[in-house]
């Protein structure tokens, strides 16, 4: 049950990414490039997602002691800021602005058979493994 639900949720998330325009690198770069001809529409993706998530997530956590398929919620509790967070986010932003893809849209583009999506995801997995090796060095 837990696995089937996660699969359906993954499909819904992928459909949302496709509909939103986040899977179109030219659109993402047109959003990040705020000079003349700026396309601000992708700002509404985050706005729409937060408008749904913020109130409902709050309500779920108040109304329930545990999720449907587990004995407890598994949510981040850290509140401290550290250099690792900022450096990591900065590096991610450079990659996002360069390729116009973030992880979810990368997976969607790769599964759609786009060569750039496949190249991006392969490189992303290498980057993730490299980060793991870096912090363990």
**Are residues 105 and 37 in contact, defined by beta-carbon separation less than 8 angstroms?**
no
Task: Using alpha carbons, list the distances in angstroms from residue 46 to 53, 92, 102, 125.
Answer: 10, 17, 14, 25
3-state secondary structure of 84: helix
Q: From the CB of 93, what's the least distance to another protein, in Å? A: 3
Say whether residue 137 binds another protein (CB under 8 A). Answer: no
Interface positions, 1-60, toward another protein (CB under 8 A): 2-27, 29, 32-35, 39, 41-54, 56-57, 60
Q: At what angle do helices 43-63 and 2-20 cross, to 10 degrees?
A: 150
Residue count at the site for another protein (CB under 8 A)? 114
Binding mask 93-112 for another protein (x = CB under 8 A): xxxxxxxxxxxx-xxxxxxx
1's tokens? 């049950």
Task: Give the Cα separation of 29 and 113 in Å (integer).
Answer: 21
Say whether residue 134 binds another protein (CB under 8 A). Answer: yes
Q: From the CB of 13, what's the least distance to another protein, in Å? A: 4
Q: From the CB of 118, what's the least distance to another protein, in Å? A: 10
Say whether residue 62 binds another protein (CB under 8 A). Answer: no
**Are residues 31 and 22 in contact, defined by beta-carbon separation less than 8 angstroms?**
no
Q: From the CB of 46, what's the least distance to another protein, in Å? A: 6
Task: Give the Cα separation of 98 and 120 in Å (integer).
Answer: 11
Interface positions, 65-94, toward another protein (CB under 8 A): 66-70, 72-76, 78-81, 84-94
């Amino acid at each position: 049950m837990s696995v089937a639900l996660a699969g359906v949720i993954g499909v819904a998330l992928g459909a949302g990414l496709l509909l939103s325009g986040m899977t179109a690198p030219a659109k993402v770069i047109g959003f990040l490039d705020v000079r003349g001809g700026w396309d601000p529409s992708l700002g509404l993706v985050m706005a729409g997602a937060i408008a749904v998530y913020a109130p409902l997530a709050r309500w779920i956590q108040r109304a329930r002691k545990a999720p449907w398929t587990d004995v407890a919620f598994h949510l981040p509790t850290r509140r401290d800021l550290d250099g690792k967070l900022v450096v990591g986010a900065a590096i991610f932003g450079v990659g996002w602005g360069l390729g116009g893809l973030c992880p979810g849209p990368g997976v969607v583009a790769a599964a759609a058979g786009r060569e750039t999506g496949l190249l991006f995801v392969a490189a992303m997995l290498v980057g993730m493994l490299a980060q793991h090796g870096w912090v363990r060095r």
